[in-house]
Chains A and B, each alone.
Chain A
Amino acid sequence: ETGVTQSPTHLIKTRGQQVTLRCSSQSGHNTVSWYQQALGQGPQFIFQYYREEENGRGNFPPRFSGLQFPNYSSELNVNALELDDSALYLCASSRTGWTEAFFGQGTRLTVV
């Protein structure tokens, strides 16, 4: 077990709705990253938070947003859901931005 936990594990939403996914990082880790993994693909970097601020972002539109809290837990929010947003969303925590990252079990989002 990595100590990184995500909730919920599965979610079904309707196109156009909004969703919030949650992540608790491993003890001692102050950096949290979020990834989207479509079927048959490797995870794609969405963004990273360090000390409650976004300090890096991948090629995702602004309707993907996030937060990090003082206890280093994090949220990923997606507005105006599209069918292509259906994927496994993974949260990873690490001690710094370049050291080993440990993943939670993921949230499987289905948009219908």
Chain B
Amino acid sequence: RKEVEQDPGPFNVPEGATVAFNCTYSNSASQSFFWYRQDCRKEPKLLMSVYSSGNEDGRFTAQLNRASQYISLLIRDSKLSDSATYLCVVNLYSGGGADGLTFGKGTHLIIQP
């Protein structure tokens, strides 16, 4: 079983629509959770951290369900500029040493005019 699983897509969504991505992770000891965005041939950029209480940043809402080991990202009123690959990221960090960030393969989003 992969450590972080995402639907690779592509998701083709009309401009202005709402789109949701999901991600599951296998290690229940995971400590930190993030969504990163990556444009073609560029570096990943931090979109937002994900907390159990849920958090919102403008049009973006992220949610964490530790019991189900499930992370979600909701994008409202999607813009053409939201077209990118969205990477679900988990940090195990056992405290005895670093395990680095574990990335999913990413979900490819295409916003259509």
Number of B interface residues in the complex (CB < 8 A): 24
Of all chain A residues, which has the CB nearest B105?
A42
Contacts of A48 in B (CB 8 A): 98, 100
Known: A40-B105, A42-B104. A100 touches B98 (CB 8 A): no
Contacts of B110 in A (CB 8 A): none
Contacts of A41 in B (CB 8 A): 105
Contact with A33, one of B32, B42, B98 (Cβ below 8 angstroms): B98
B42 and A97 contact, CB distance less than 8 A: no
Contact with B44, one of A31, A47, A90, A98 (Cβ below 8 angstroms): A90
Max chain B Cβ within 10 angstroms of own Cβ: one of A42, A48, A56, A104: A42
Contacts of B93 in A (CB 8 A): 97-98
What is the distance, in angstroms, from B104's C-beta to the closest C-beta of chain A?
6
What is the 8 Å Cβ interface bit string for chain B, positions 81-113, against chain A (1 contact, 0 not)?
A: 000000100010100011111111110000000
Of all chain B residues, which has the CB nearest A39?
B41
Max chain B Cβ within 10 angstroms of own Cβ: one of A2, A31, A48, A97: A97
